[in-house]
Structure 1
């Protein structure tokens, strides 16, 4: 008997690659069989392990064959589950281990072989806790991937391998899963606009079970009229890393002892407006232990379609604002209709350096208003969220942050359209002996027109008689209230000779507009009303 045939009988499977033939005009043409992937061997090293004394593992060894002779890749996964000795049912979270012939990292070790026939080994950690003194672990699924083909080996086929399972002596889990930090995920606010489209959100919590670990669970919300929505808590191996993921949250551990979760939920169209709360959290551990937490401490949420309470006719006055040189305030007001028992709350969120200041107030004409602080750094502000609540708890909600109607509230900055203008410039001193250059700076004073945007920068350039730059500096500095700007020019290390030098400069304002003065190498340069600024360096 050939070695290949004997090996197939030894492992309980025999995979045959058959050729097919077709007769064409009296001749027979042979075709190669379709390539196949197969699991040819699988077994655990020990039929029984004792997990009661601490960490223990059991090595799983398996072999894969690929009849494609030119195959270069061989990857896949092995899924393992625990079976209860009490109920006979599969119990708890699965373990999914990955293998890869070419990249020897992660869960499994390549023992030997080629992409056509390879053997892998996996040291499977065994849980110390179950629902009884013993439990059975078994391989429930194997996925195989070659270059262009894939195959899945299911539980029925796996059970034909004598070593596909083993028994573990375990401790009995006496604890129940717990959780803390139940909140809206990522700082999400508690208000939701639901009309024609759903509103999506996530609830975060951290789940702990330091015996058998978390298996699964659920979260249930209740709202007005007995409406409710629920979501399942589940976690799994991250597809693209060695970590784990529960909803939107990464990290945690393979045993489910510590699992940060952020479970996505949604309020669908037709959700009842009003207050919603978490009514129940159910957690089930890997031993089947169940814990139900009713009415836990957590966030309350308010849903609205703006059908009862509305805010309209938004006005900012004054607008635009002149905040080029200092922080300013303006007023945001609106008409509110449908309020019951007055207005209890007004919140406004801006996208930039703006914020409300002080308490909302009602104007003589009945409009609801609030002062808005506008930072001198703001180049304009738009409202991204606005909410109004009345004394009965009704909510009106607006803004892109919450996928609600856009209130189209924008605080604009007074436009700056004219580049800076220099009125005059002078040097002190205008003439200096060459020997004094190391000991004395030359102060340039520029008188610029005070316009909408202040001048924020004045780079300075010194040119020789040929128009070449012999000195330059970034010259950052602000414009004084009287319009003047100064810069001290130090020429000590520039190796200048006696002669006349032209001093030019650029003026740049806070809006980004620029002008150039007495700069011969800039085509758009302007000439000062008093003519060029000239520094004379004398001998001596």
Structure 2
């Protein structure tokens, strides 16, 4: 307690002790059965009646005792919740849950002071926020939950906790302004074109908000359609594992500046056209509200492909060759119902090709629009278009494919298959006779070989007269300036007769073997690969 003792409960606190005791169960008579398992809060008090939090370093220490009449219980755990109270006595702003447990874990916030599982006292030094909506704010324990390892539970709200000394007052700096919005947009990677097929459309937005005084607590985002219809979504910041979260995939170090996700459901009957963010309402931890209107940000283009359409969809070539070098495939279409010019054409794809967005693309003489997709070398065996969208200068949109919520497109180009084994046309050793005095020896093998898709691996192995492997080399291969694949062996060999075999492997994994003992594979193309090592 750092030199400060918790004052005994008097007045309301004494009533609280009685009320807490009564929670355990009624008085049993000799004729009555044993009381049912009960958990009870038997004491709760803040050590300080008031604190000065204007420096940002104030703490208010609270202690509480939980009793369990279940004698076989070995652990009790739960949370107390501390929150600021408004003038009407209702909680405002962020709630601060404080975990406690008789068998304390690393992430348990409260400290076990003393006791057993049947009656234990816990302590927590609450860091009082520096800012509040008023200069003298009231903070209180507004909730308590507990459960033992035998399934007995306890849950108390503000009304029951008010019987204890569950509050204190704090002198704080006054925050009278709500949070500011730094940005609001569609979550990165989410399509901004959507095909309406009679089902609601889920759109996720990200809001960047700041409040460098009390901190951001919650927010609400409203989007408006071209007919005036609206849809809303919201977020509330919660403390989790050391971070402040506000939607899936979010994590903020504090509440002064946050990135929060807002999920909005656009109705199945939504009007075709642009739906834009028009209102962001933010609340800080003191209850201050700021409304930011007419943002007109982050349009999502909804369409039923009735006004603007894309026809004659095609992809070419149907077969591409990217085994050695990058290449391109082209997606083509003809717009129908176009008003003005095409402002933007977007193609989303998976596999070997990249997404592409073209701004103000020009139509060809016959009215065809082509979007070219880059295909890097050797990455994947297909390029499949998953989404295709158009936007014209009048604001009309068309969207196709599963990426935009529509039926799948049959637009796939496949890579040239690797259907032929590599072929070696020449293989020559760097020597046919070596002396032991020349050891360590260097034996080279030069191979001329080809494959329609290129050769990427090569290996060769040396065998003694008994057919045993005595060395070699393997790994990635690329032709040298002379167009040949060069392999080598550095090492020591005993006097005797030796042969060599080699394997070349194509980019697609097809292999051809040459010169191996025992007739494995094909004969070496330039004759047997043989050499001798002699004494001397």
TM-score bucket (shorter structure): 0.7 to 0.9
Instruction: State how 1:167-186 maps to structure 2 within 5 Å.
Output: 167-186=169-188
Question: Which string of whole-angstrom CA distances, capped at 9 and with x for unpartnered residues, describes residues 461-481 of structure 1?
Answer: 111111111112224212479
User: Partner of 1:474: helix, strand, or coil?
Assistant: strand
* Alignment correspondent of 2:447: 446
Asked whether 1:504 is paired with 2:510, we answer: no
Once residues 327 and 217 of structure 2 are traced to their aligned partners in structure 1, the CA distance between those partners, rounded to angstroms, is 56
TM-score, L = length of structure 2? 0.88
Shift of 1:276: 1.8
Figure out how many residues of one structure are paired with residues of the other and give that number: 517
Q: CA contact under 8 A between 2:183 and 2:209: conserved in structure 1?
A: no
Question: Which string of whole-angstrom CA distances, capped at 9 and with x for unpartnered residues, describes residues 199-243 of structure 1?
Answer: 3232212222222222323111111110111112311122xx232
Asked whether 1:157 is paired with 2:153, we answer: no
* Alignment correspondent of 1:270: 269
Asked whether 1:67 is paired with 2:64, we answer: no
Q: After the TM superposition, which parts of structure 1 deviate over 6 Å for at least 4 consecutive aligned residues?
A: 7-10, 18-21
Question: Which string of whole-angstrom CA distances, capped at 9 and with x for unpartnered residues, describes residues 100-144 of structure 1?
Answer: 222344321111122221111111122232232312112211011
Q: CA contact under 8 A between 1:248 and 1:264: conserved in structure 2?
A: no
Q: CA contact under 8 A between 2:136 and 2:171: conserved in structure 1?
A: yes
Question: Which string of whole-angstrom CA distances, capped at 9 and with x for unpartnered residues, describes residues 270-294 of structure 1?
Answer: 1212112111111222333221111
- Aligned counterpart for 1:518 among listed residues 510, 515, 519: 515
* Alignment correspondent of 1:288: 287
Shift of 1:392: 1.9
Once residues 16 and 362 of structure 2 are traced to their aligned partners in structure 1, the CA distance between those partners, rounded to angstroms, is 87
Once residues 245 and 93 of structure 2 are traced to their aligned partners in structure 1, the CA distance between those partners, rounded to angstroms, is 17
TM-score, L = length of structure 1? 0.87
Shift of 1:153: 1.0
Shift of 1:169: 2.2
In the superposition, relative to structure 1, how do residues 32 and 328 fare at CA in structure 2: closer, same or farther (>3 Å)? same
Once residues 48 and 102 of structure 1 are traced to their aligned partners in structure 2, the CA distance between those partners, rounded to angstroms, is 31
Once residues 192 and 357 of structure 2 are traced to their aligned partners in structure 1, the CA distance between those partners, rounded to angstroms, is 22
Deviates more, 1:47-56 or 1:359-368: 359-368
Deviates more, 1:105-114 or 1:187-196: 187-196
Question: Which string of whole-angstrom CA distances, capped at 9 and with x for unpartnered residues, describes residues 449-471 of structure 1?
Answer: x3322111111111111111111
Instruction: State how 1:327-476 maps to structure 2 within 5 Å.
Output: 327-355=326-354, 360-378=361-379, 379-438=381-440, 441-448=442-449, 450-476=450-476
Q: CA contact under 8 A between 1:456 and 1:479: conserved in structure 2?
A: no
Alignment gaps of 5+ in structure 2 = 1-12
* Alignment correspondent of 2:318: 319
User: Partner of 1:250: helix, strand, or coil?
Assistant: coil
* Alignment correspondent of 1:527: 523
Shift of 1:249: 4.6
- Aligned counterpart for 2:168 among listed residues 151, 166, 169: 166
Question: Which string of whole-angstrom CA distances, capped at 9 and with x for unpartnered residues, describes residues 280-320 of structure 1?
Answer: 11122233322111123742221223232222432223220
In the superposition, relative to structure 1, how do residues 537 and 198 fare at CA in structure 2: closer, same or farther (>3 Å)? farther
Question: Which string of whole-angstrom CA distances, capped at 9 and with x for unpartnered residues, describes residues 77-120 of structure 1?
Answer: 111221224x4443222221111222344321111122221111
Once residues 259 and 331 of structure 1 are traced to their aligned partners in structure 2, the CA distance between those partners, rounded to angstroms, is 42
* Alignment correspondent of 2:534: 538
Q: CA contact under 8 A between 2:44 and 2:64: conserved in structure 1?
A: yes
* Alignment correspondent of 1:24: none
User: Partner of 2:410: helix, strand, or coil?
Assistant: coil
